[in-house]
Structure 1
Amino acid sequence: MRPKWALVMLGVTAVALVPWMVLLVRMLPASTEVRNWQVAWVGLDVLMTAGCAATAVLGLRRDPRARLTASATAAVAVLDAWFDITTAQPGAALLQALASAVAEAALACACVYLALSKGQARRE
């Protein structure tokens, strides 16, 4: 059974984030110069790679924790696609971002499938 207080806190957090998002939309600049751009982008790909590897290893071992790494990897793939698309310049860069997003969406769907599947019980 899930702790009720944690679920209530998640609900309160969701409500509290709505005015925060409105504030961000009104206050943040439309563009900015970013430091460590390559590190940020490569970092997302490192997380995706680690998630795929961990999910594969755990899944092949029939370890139920593979469902957790699959969930996290799906989230990172969606996040990567979101930033690819929203930061791309119009034209060829946006087309490349959209093509990448299709691949990342496929990865996310596969990971969600793995996370939600019951899988086979581990044989001891």
Structure 2
Amino acid sequence: MKVALKRWMLLLLGAGAVLLVPWMVVLALTLPGSTEVRHWSLAWIGLDALLAAGCATTALLGLRGDPRARLTASATAAVAVLDAWFDITTASAGAQLAEAVACAVAEGVLAGACVLLALSKGRGHPESS
């Protein structure tokens, strides 16, 4: 990628980050405190299916020594953090929240492992990392 194009892309990402701040304020002021959701189970199943696909793809690529496993590990870490976030923020108080926190801890461990894999320098099989 050319340096100039990369710089412009990075500047656009930075601008997007700045523009998201007022948008978050608008959402905080205008979104309802609760809502009824259709296809609730499908949304959760889809998120877990994405997490499973990320884990499987990272494992397969990593065991083959394919450096692209670092990319899938990064994406899988992000999905695990999102899953934990939504587990906790959508749980009711009490037992449901305790279960969500327990799941979030497991997802946090998974995300941490994926981050370590994503940051690993080894390009060969797991034994060489």
Normalising by structure 2, report the TM-score.
Answer: 0.92
1:21: which partner in 2?
A: 24
2:39: which partner in 1?
A: 36
The Cα RMSD (Å) is 1.1
Matches within 5 A, 1:1-124: 3-121=6-124
Shift in Å, 1:119? 1.6
Give 1:40's aligned amino acid: A
- Equivalents in 2 of 1:63, 1:120: separation in Å? 7
**Any runs of at least 4 consecutive aligned residues in structure 1 with deviations exceeding 3 A, and if so which?**
none
Normalising by structure 1, report the TM-score.
Answer: 0.95
Give 2:106's aligned amino acid: A
Aligned length: 122
List runs of 5+ in structure 1 lacking aligned partners.
none
Q: Equivalent pairs: percent with the same residue?
A: 69
Shift in Å, 1:120? 3.3
Shift in Å, 1:121? 3.5
List runs of 5+ in structure 2 lacking aligned partners.
none
Shift in Å, 1:71? 0.3
